[in-house]
């Protein structure tokens, strides 16, 4: 067996042990999971695939109906893994809101992952970077993207609550923003790229579709470049 294969087997073994421990912890300390996992004893399974196949299916829409406190471990209070911050996410469609609770350590890890996404891409850009973040700051993408922009040396500006797309675009133009961070179409997440483009279309000299924007950042979506095509 090669070193690569050995490493892969070892990794799966560690994942299996961690998953067993996670199920035990959830049954004991997470109110919402006690009933869901009530008939599941992870010690009865001897492989990762077997345990995974036995786990009940949890759908996002079902989790979204659970009171937030019922998903927080009762043993987290007073521990180093106590809840540090909560943020929300509404899913790709924007119609399945779920609240996420982070310990301090997990929140730092989430920030670090987003830092790494942009450091390599932007570290060689010589232009002064100014980001304009249209996500609601209660949405997970709001603070993590703004934090990442600050780490790579950009000036992070967050869109104020209640601003119209036209006013937001005017503000972004005034500060000469060259990075736009925004959900594509879901207004539940914040001001959308779609709304900003509509506002931009009414300007004598469009800003977003010109050469001013160095980077467009979205979540949960793949954007297609349709510039120059008839709508």
Distance of CA 157 to the CA centre of its chain: 18
Residue 186 lies in a domain: yes
In a domain, residue 70? The reply is: no
C-alpha distances (whole Å) from 84 to each of 77, 108, 151, 170 are 10, 10, 21, 35
Say if residue 54 is in the same domain as residue 113. Answer: no
Instruction: Specify if 72 maps to a domain.
Output: no
Query: Which DSSP letter does residue 226 get?
Result: -
pLDDT tens readout for residues 21-40: 999 999 999 999 998 899 99
Residue 9, CA distances (Å) to 52, 204, 217 in order: 16, 61, 36
| CB distance 84 to 103 below 8 Å | yes
| 73-95: average pLDDT | 74
The answer to the question of residue 69 being in a domain is: no
29 and 117, same domain (yes or no): no
The answer for residues whose C-beta is within 8 angstroms of residue 10's C-beta and 6 or more apart is: none
Residues 112 and 213 both lie in one domain = yes
Instruction: Look at residue 3 and tell me if it is in a domain.
Output: yes
Residue 87 has pLDDT above 50, yes or no: yes
What is the number of domains present in the chain? Answer: 2
Which positions ≥6 away from 172 have C-beta within 8 Å? 132, 157, 180, 207
Minimum mean pLDDT among 83-87, 131-135, 139-143, 208-212: which range?
208-212
Structure tokens at 5: 């294969």
Pair 45, 119 in one domain? no
Whole-model pTM? 0.73
Q: What are the pLDDT digits (tens) for 172-192?
A: 999 999 999 999 887 788 999
Six-digit token pair at 57?
């299916």
Does a structural domain hold residue 130?
yes
Per-residue b or e along 17-27, where b marks 16 or more CB atoms closer than 10 Å to that residue's CB: eebbeebeebb
Q: Do residues 130 and 32 both lie within one domain?
A: no
| Cβ pair 82, 116 in contact under 8 A | no
Name the residue range of residue 210's domain: 108-217
The enclosing domain of 162 has a CATH number of 3.40.50.980
pLDDT tens-digit readout, 136-182: 998 989 999 999 999 989 999 999 988 999 999 999 999 999 999 99
Torsions phi, psi for 25 (to 5 deg): -65, -45
Give me the residue label for tokens 């998903």. Answer: 71
In the DSSP assignment, the letter for residue 36 is H
Mean pLDDT of 190-200: 91
User: In terms of domains, do 125 and 53 share one?
Assistant: no
């Amino acid at each position: 067996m090669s070193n690569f294969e050995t490493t892969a087997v070892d990794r799966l073994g560690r994942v299996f042990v961690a998953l067993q421990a996670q199920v035990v912890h959830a049954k004991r300390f997470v109110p919402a999971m006690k009933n869901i996992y009530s008939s599941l004893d992870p010690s009865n399974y001897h492989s990762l695939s077997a345990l995974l196949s036995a786990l009940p299916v949890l759908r996002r829409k079902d989790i979204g109906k659970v009171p937030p406190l019922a998903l927080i471990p009762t043993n987290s209070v007073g521990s180093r893994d106590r809840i540090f911050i909560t943020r929300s996410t509404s899913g790709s469609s924007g119609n399945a809101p779920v609240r996420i609770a982070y310990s301090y350590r997990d929140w730092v890890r989430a920030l670090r992952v987003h830092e790494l996404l942009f450091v390599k891409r932007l570290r060689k850009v010589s232009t002064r970077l100014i980001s304009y973040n249209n996500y609601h700051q209660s949405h997970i993408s709001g603070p993590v993207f703004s934090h990442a922009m600050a780490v790579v040396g950009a000036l992070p500006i967050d869109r104020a609550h209640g601003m119209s797309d036209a006013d937001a675009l005017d503000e972004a133009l005034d500060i000469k923003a060259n990075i736009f961070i925004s959900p594509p179409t879901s207004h539940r997440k914040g001001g959308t790229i779609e709304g900003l483009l509509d506002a931009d279309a009414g300007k004598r000299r469009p800003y977003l579709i010109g050469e001013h924007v160095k980077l467009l950042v979205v979540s949960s979506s793949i954007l297609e470049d349709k510039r120059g095509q008839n709508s």
